[in-house]
Amino acid sequence: MLTLDTPIEYVLGVGPKRAETLTAELGIRCVEDLVTHYPYKYIDKSKFYTIRECTEDLVYVQLKGRILQFEMRGEGRARRLTATFADGTGFIELVWFKGWKYVEEKLRVNTDYIIFGKPSKFGERLNIAHPEVEVYSEKNLEKNSGLQGHYNTSEKMKTRFLNSAGIRKLMYTVFSDREFYIPENLPDEIVKNFGLMSRSDAMRQVHFPQNFDLLRRAQARLKFEELFYIQLSIMRQSKLRDMKYQGFVFDKVGEYFNRFYRECLPFELTDAQKRVIREIRSDMNTGRQMNRLLQGDVGSGKTMVALMTSLIALDNGYQACIMAPTEILATQHYQSISEQVAKLGVSVRLLTGSTRKKEREEIDEGLRDGTLQIIIGTHALIEDTVQFKNLGYVVIDEQHRFGVAQRAKLWTKNIRPPHVLVMTATPIPRTLAMTIYGDLEVSVIDQLPPGRKPIATYHYFDNKRAALNGFLAKEIEKGRQVYVVYPLIQESEKLDMKDLEQGYQSMVEAFPKYNIVMVHGKMKPAYKDAAMQRFASGEAQIMVATTVIEVGVNVPNASVMVIESAERFGLSQLHQLRGRVGRGADQSYCILMSKYELATDTRKRLQIMCDSTDGFVIAEADLNLRGPGDIDGLQQSGLPFDLKIANLATDGRLLQTARSVAKELLERDPELGLPEHSMLLRQLQRLQKGNVNWGSIS
């Protein structure tokens, strides 16, 4: 008897080999994994076209007719098996570039077939390459009627006959097992109140829909279920965390903070900075361990917030730690912070992978005996050898750059977990952040320091290159500096490196008078730092680089950011890169270079960049264009489990409902101890097995 827990291997027609493929390619281990592999699209198979109606604009057609003759055509790689197919209204050619033997064995002339595929034009004639073919029979007609689900597969799966049709066949096997039964996993009350389809019916309909209407209802039910469990999981974790951990109470704002404010502050704080510092300060005083996300656009002054709130920790007798994702960034933080607190006699040190052994020993000792008060560093801070006397506050900059497990390690460096502030310049729309992060508090710096001019952004094609170089020359003449950034993506690393090097060469040729440095992630750190240093000091006027400069580099004199192959970057990455300029008082520019032919979405993306410099507007647009799964930073920090059918971008309303239902339920029954809620606990455990528990460690 099949149940949701039956290992996939035991489903009729699977067996050990295909089970292995299903697990490796799609993570499908049991029947539940299979039936929650939902179709990504549906095709209406109730309609038959005639050959005369076929045009290459149709995405798919279903035809019935006969094969008149077979013929081999072409030479070499273009060699193909063709068949002339006729239905009384015209002729169309069927084409196979491989698998000839199979076709010749299976298909006969003068037999009625149903064929299905995409018509395209080859020369003057319409053809269908590699069509799906079935014998025309009552039984096959019946099976094909109505909406047909199509499933994602992979090349590897196809070699094991696990193409979309193969998966559909497995679904059919499972759902036609008379004893197969999917238990309900939402309380009766919720199902009734919201008029939801039962889980069992919804699963069946979503794979084998009877009509559009039932399909919609089935999808709504399954989406609701998914979003509800996400919310329940997050909120429950956060409640448990509150019960389990007590937070340090920072009830003093003392000498360090106040003296800094009066004597050391290099500029007037913006209202947004003041507000956020107040929010953090009161949070640290509640007895609850603080978990706060600080969002602030590039250049909004998050570092100052990190420093001043660290001083509160010091005022209460605790140590503070600021972790940054790269050595460059950590070093910059160290330089600015140690300068700013010099007058206070606060001890600050920097710890990175390249800290010398002797210095490292001093630092370790200072952290252990408490004489070292603020430690700034990279991943090196996570190592077990780093022990604190009394760590009370942790700030993590550009939090999405760190893995969940890495961040979690810092939490264990004191008996109670320290207060935590994670900072990000990748803004997440607020409603989404609240949903995803459950009860994690969110602070927003929604204001830039005064005097910043919005960065003027333009999109050019390659034919404007000469004009671009002329413009760059002018800016450099004025004493400004220029970044030129190339994409570097792992899959195409070799080609990308070539582009970067060629780009560097052509800059060297175009600007013989100036110093140009090249920086990429594959360089030895010492060379990279040296090149960065030459640019930071102003000795080099142009830096040609990959996205290694995306995070944090601060050279206020740089006023132009040229992004090559801009079409290959995501919106938030473009925004991050653009944030490297516009840090001084001068007008800054961002030039997006792209190839000429662009997909509609890409064109929109670049247009949004030209139209707006507001990180939140851009994040919102990104969410709409790509869906939240793709947004940088959400991937890692993301959800307690993957969404398989719901979409955070488009299912906002459903999400709000699911959230309030989950909230109300938890208020009534925080332990989920009521008998009618036991299914909720069970389902949560099912969903969470093997997943890192995000809610409890941030």
Binding site for ligand ADP (CB under 6 A): 267-270, 273, 296, 298-304, 425, 449, 554, 583
Shortest approach of ligand ADP to residue 299 CB, angstroms? 5
Nearer to ligand ADP, 574 or 658 (CB): 574
> Cβ 593 to ligand ADP, closest distance in Å?
25
Q: How far is CA 109 from CA 38, 83, 86, 128, 293, in A?
A: 37, 9, 11, 17, 67
Measure the CA–CA gap between 181 and 15, rounded to whole angstroms.
Answer: 22
* Other beta carbons within 10 Å of 677: 17
Which residues are CB-contacts of 414 (< 8 A; sequence separation ≥ 6)?
388, 390, 391, 392
Pairing type for strands 456-461 and 589-594 reads parallel
- Closest approach, Cβ 298 to ligand ADP, in A, equals 5
Compute the chain's Rg from CA coordinates.
30
Strands 419-424 and 291-296 turn out to be parallel
Closer to ligand ADP at the Cβ: 37 or 583? 583
The least distance separating ligand ADP from the CB of residue 301, rounded to whole angstroms, comes to 3
For 30-169, list the strands marked E by DSSP: 41-44, 61-73, 80-86, 91-96, 112-117, 119-122, 125-129, 132-135, 147-150
Closer residue to ligand ADP (CB): 217 or 302: 302
Calculate the alpha carbon distances from 567 to 339, 459, 477, 486, 571 in Å. 40, 10, 29, 11, 9
Half-sphere exposure of 424 (CA within 13 A, CB side): 23
Spatial CA neighbour of 324 closest among 307, 345, 341, 343: 307
The β-bridge partners of 445 are: 296
> Smaller CB distance to ligand ADP: residue 520 or 583?
583
Element (H, E) at 441: strand 441-445
Q: How far is the CB of 13 from ligand ADP (least distance, A)?
A: 56
Q: Which is nearer to ligand ADP, 264 or 679 (CB)?
A: 264
Task: Report the C-alpha gap between 73 and 92 in whole angstroms.
Answer: 15
Minimum distance of ligand ADP from residue 269's CB (angstroms): 5
Least Å distance between CB 451 and ligand ADP? 7
Report in angstroms how near the CB of residue 102 gets to ligand ADP at its nearest: 59
Judged by beta carbon, residue 219 or residue 457, the one nearer ligand ADP is 457
E-strand ranges in 526-588 read: 542-545, 558-563
Toward ligand ADP, which CB reaches closer, 203 or 324?
A: 324
Residues in the chain: 698
Q: Which is nearer to ligand ADP, 518 or 558 (CB)?
A: 558
CA 691 to each of CA 5, 26, 204, 241, 687: distance values in angstroms, whole numbers, following the listed order: 18, 16, 27, 17, 8
- The residue (of 336 and 347) whose beta carbon lies closer to ligand ADP is 336
| Smallest separation (angstroms) from ligand ADP to the CB of 425 | 5
